[in-house]
Chains A and B, each alone.
Chain A
Amino acid sequence: MRINLVKFLSATALCAFLLLSSQTQAGDTIKIGSFLAVTGGASFLGDPELKTLQMYIDEINQKGGVLGKKIELIHYDTGGSPKKAVKFIKRLVKKDRVDLVIGGSTSGTTMAVAPLIEKFKIPMISLAGSIKIVEPTQKWLFKVPHTDRMAAEKVFQDMKKRGFTKVALISGNGGFDKSGRAQSLALAPKYGIEIVADESYGNKDTDMTAQLTKIRATDAQTILNFGFGKAPAIVTKNIKQLGISLPIYQSHGVASKKYLELSGAAANGVRLPAAAIVVADELADDDIQKQIASRYKKQYEAKFDQVSSFGAHAYDALMITVEAIKRADSLDKKAVRNEIEKTHNYIGAGGIFNMSADDHMGLKEDSFKLLEVVDGRWQIVN
């Protein structure tokens, strides 16, 4: 009992000290809290996101900061675990006393902290894909990445244009794949499209010819693959191996040079939706996103490895934040939240953002470019 009392007292004293010290600091810096999946299965998201945040916060600070204050980034690695995300968001708000939050990397971690964000009344911009984050809209919660629904819409619009009505769907067993599959199934009727096959595979599988043989037996006019990582490249190769000559659509999950490299000649003719950042070099000079996309790509690749659209989301979230703080001319959470919601015509790496009270993402599906693989290179389809 005695020991417990001592522990309790010292803990209280420590808390009080931390509280005091953080309060004395509060005036000097803008504190951005962040919880990203830098390690673990979703590290392909969190890793470039954190690098981007650090790189641009350094740049902003070198130029004198925002409102005359330096930005301080306080980051915790969730490893993709929603449980840890909840723990970290409490620490960020209560102990670190951040002014706003950018994160998390995955829809799971974002949704886990969403109720707390509303309770703490602190603005948060999520870097995760799911449409559920902003639908229905929650007062303090925003997001910047495109949704899987937008990807499905972009693909179906193009299919409709080309006159395809019968589609074979094949998708992986990951969260991204499953969500994409669900959105595709839900949206298809709207575009008069019938899903004639709905196959799945494990993301670590090495061969999908069995599923594709089944698809070959249907009267599908085109194949849509919602997937991420190496599996879509294997699907692409397997389709060619089986001599199936149907046009192939992929999702934005494979919009990277790696996909082209892995699938080689088999990828020719494949179409997919992708953010402008992926084709920064191929964008027309008068493209409204050209400047920002090539700038981000150049800066990121000068310091790290190949650019991905995920890091670009962190860039957009940071810039929207900075702009909102400048417009609010204060760090008052309510004022900053209101200004984020008023984000208008912000040209970002992911597209043009126009947020409003009912739209806390602000992107339209035209912010996706439709790409076609031509001789191992991306080409924008108009």
Chain B
Amino acid sequence: MSEYVLQFLISGITVGSIYALVGLGFTIIYNASDVINFAQGEFVMIGAMSAVTFSVAGTPLIIAIIMAMLVTVLIGFALNLFAIKPAKGASVVTTIIITIGASIFLRGAALLIWGKDFYSLPAFSGEQPIHIAGATILPQNLWVLGMTVILVSAVLLFFKYTLLGKAVLACSCNSTAAQLVGINVGKMMLLSYGISAMLGALAGVLIVPITFTSYDAGVMLGLKGFSAAILGGIGNPIGAVVGGLLLGILESLGAGFISSGYKDAIAFGIILLVLFIRPSGLLGRTTQERV
């Protein structure tokens, strides 16, 4: 029995690290503007799809990945410049609805470019499973886990120790005040969409050998990543990781011990319960509005 538990946990961590990586992408734009960017899942999909396209065209994997990230960053910039910026002064809810529209647009465009097929990339370092006390894990999963740790640390350091990161945070706290102290809010927004897109693309590239990709892959990943970010406390990079891993483990234990048909219901039921008790998420800051 204990051997099952270990496999369930490893399965959960595997899936959870994917959710965490996607969830991480939500934090940057949220920290800059309090907006939840529902096109984040599409960033993940576009990153994965472009990497596959470049790789199939014969580009070495590492260059294909960098080019895919560039493409996605450009799309992130475009999203900001052509969809978000013209709606300047709109409420947060309006902006969120714009991102939903953008996600539908990007999905449609991807459908026209890549069709309805599924695509994959070869695993970065082989497909030989690694055995740990009767349970197994794939090398690609270690890549995902490792990169999640690196990216989370990078995002944390960025917000905590760099002037740029602090400037981005300031925009979210009070954009008028930020403007007054000389922060170019428009540029910070552009930057945050670019970084979010880059994180999304990187997530997409890392997980595509495990999950495959198609024009509509962003929907599910975006939803699960968003749930992870909310569960952990949105805006907090560590929260996204904790939320992602927890969601993955809940799903896999639910599938393993109760019923595979109801695993999503079990996981989301628990998320609802957690949010009922702690509305700001597990590690979320409780906001106090000063009047």
A residues contacting B by CB (< 8 A) are: 43-44, 47, 173, 199-202, 204, 206-207, 209-211, 213-214, 217, 229-230, 233-234, 237, 240-243, 258, 261-262, 264-266, 305
Q: Which of B170-178, B207-215, B231-239 contacts A (4 or more CB under 8 A)?
A: B207-215
Q: In the complex the two chains form, is A206's CB within 8 Å of B15's CB?
A: yes
Q: How far is the CA of A262 from the CA of B7 in the complex (A)?
A: 24
Q: How far is the CA of A262 from the CA of B18 in the complex (A)?
A: 19
Q: What chain B residues lie within 8 Å of A266 (beta carbons)?
A: 127
Q: What chain A residues lie within 8 Å of B8 (beta carbons)?
A: 210, 213
* CB neighbors of A among B1-48 (8 A): 4, 7-8, 10-12, 14-15, 18
Closest A residue to B11 by CB, please name it. A209
Q: What chain B residues lie within 8 Å of A230 (beta carbons)?
A: 118, 211-212, 214
* A261 and B18 in contact, given A200-B260, A206-B210, A241-B138 (Cβ under 8 angstroms): no
B264 touches which of A202, A210, A211, A242 (Cβ 8 Å): A202
Q: How far is the CA of A258 from the CA of B219 in the complex (A)?
A: 21
Name 5 extra pairs, CB < 8 A, besides A204-B219, A237-B127, A242-B136: A204-B220, A210-B260, A230-B211, A230-B214, A234-B212
Distance in Å: Cβ of B268 to nearest Cβ of chain A: 12
Contact with A along B90-119 (1 / 0, CB 8 A): 000000000000000000000000011110
Q: How far is the CA of A201 from the CA of B289 in the complex (A)?
A: 43
| Interface-centre pick from A44, A209, A214, A266 (highest chain B CB count, 10 A) | A209
Q: How many contacting A-B pairs (Cβ < 8 A)?
A: 86
Q: What chain A residues lie within 8 Å of B263 (beta carbons)?
A: 202, 210
B186 at interface by CB-CB < 8 Å: no
A173 touches which of B18, B138, B220, B261 (Cβ 8 Å): B261
Number of chain B residues close to chain A: CB under 8 A: 36
Q: What chain B residues lie within 8 Å of A44 (beta carbons)?
A: 116
Distance in Å: Cβ of B10 to nearest Cβ of chain A: 8
Closest A residue to B120 by CB, please name it. A262
Q: What chain A residues lie within 8 Å of B264 (beta carbons)?
A: 202
Q: In the complex the two chains form, is A206's CB within 8 Å of B129's CB?
A: no
Q: What chain B residues lie within 8 Å of A242 (beta carbons)?
A: 7, 129, 136
A207 touches which of B210, B214, B219 (Cβ 8 Å): B210
Q: What chain A residues lie within 8 Å of B127 (beta carbons)?
A: 237, 240-241, 264-266
Q: What chain B residues lie within 8 Å of A206 (beta carbons)?
A: 15, 18, 207, 210-211
Q: What chain A residues lie within 8 Å of B14 (beta carbons)?
A: 207, 209
| Interface-centre pick from B7, B8, B18, B220 (highest chain A CB count, 10 A) | B7
Closest A residue to B259 by CB, please name it. A200
* CB neighbors of A among B124-142 (8 A): 127, 129, 131, 136, 138
| Interface-centre pick from A173, A199, A207, A264 (highest chain B CB count, 10 A) | A207
B256 touches which of A214, A229, A240, A241 (Cβ 8 Å): A214
Q: In the complex the two chains form, is A210's CB within 8 Å of B136's CB?
A: no
* A229 and B7 in contact, given A207-B210, A210-B252 (Cβ under 8 angstroms): no
Q: What chain A residues lie within 8 Å of B252 (beta carbons)?
A: 207, 209-210
Q: In the complex the two chains form, is B11's CB within 8 Å of A262's CB?
A: no
* CB neighbors of A among B203-260 (8 A): 207, 210-212, 214, 217, 219-220, 251-253, 255-256, 260
| Interface-centre pick from B10, B12, B15, B131 (highest chain A CB count, 10 A) | B15
| Interface-centre pick from A241, A242, A305 (highest chain B CB count, 10 A) | A241
Q: In the complex the two chains form, is B120's CB within 8 Å of A211's CB?
A: no
* A243 and B129 in contact, given A199-B260, A213-B256 (Cβ under 8 angstroms): yes
Q: How far is the CA of A240 from the CA of B256 in the complex (A)?
A: 18
Q: How far is the CA of A303 from the CA of B281 in the complex (A)?
A: 53
Q: What chain A residues lie within 8 Å of B15 (beta carbons)?
A: 206-207
Q: What chain B residues lie within 8 Å of A214 (beta carbons)?
A: 4, 256, 260
Q: In the complex the two chains form, is A210's CB within 8 Å of B118's CB?
A: no
Q: In the complex the two chains form, is B136's CB within 8 Å of A243's CB?
A: yes
10 tightest CB-CB pairs across the interface, nearest first? A206-B211, A210-B255, A204-B220, A209-B11, A210-B252, A210-B256, A213-B7, A230-B118, A207-B15, A230-B212
Q: How far is the CA of A206 from the CA of B247 in the complex (A)?
A: 13
Q: How far is the CA of A209 from the CA of B4 in the complex (A)?
A: 11
Q: In the complex the two chains form, is B211's CB within 8 Å of A229's CB?
A: no
Closest A residue to B7 by CB, please name it. A213
Q: How far is the CA of A206 from the CA of B131 in the complex (A)?
A: 20
16 cross-chain CB contacts under 8 A:
A44-B116, A47-B116, A173-B261, A202-B263, A206-B15, A206-B18, A209-B11, A210-B8, A210-B11, A210-B253, A213-B256, A230-B212, A230-B214, A233-B118, A241-B138, A305-B115
Q: In the complex the two chains form, is A258's CB within 8 Å of B211's CB?
A: no
Closest B residue to A170 by CB, please name it. B260
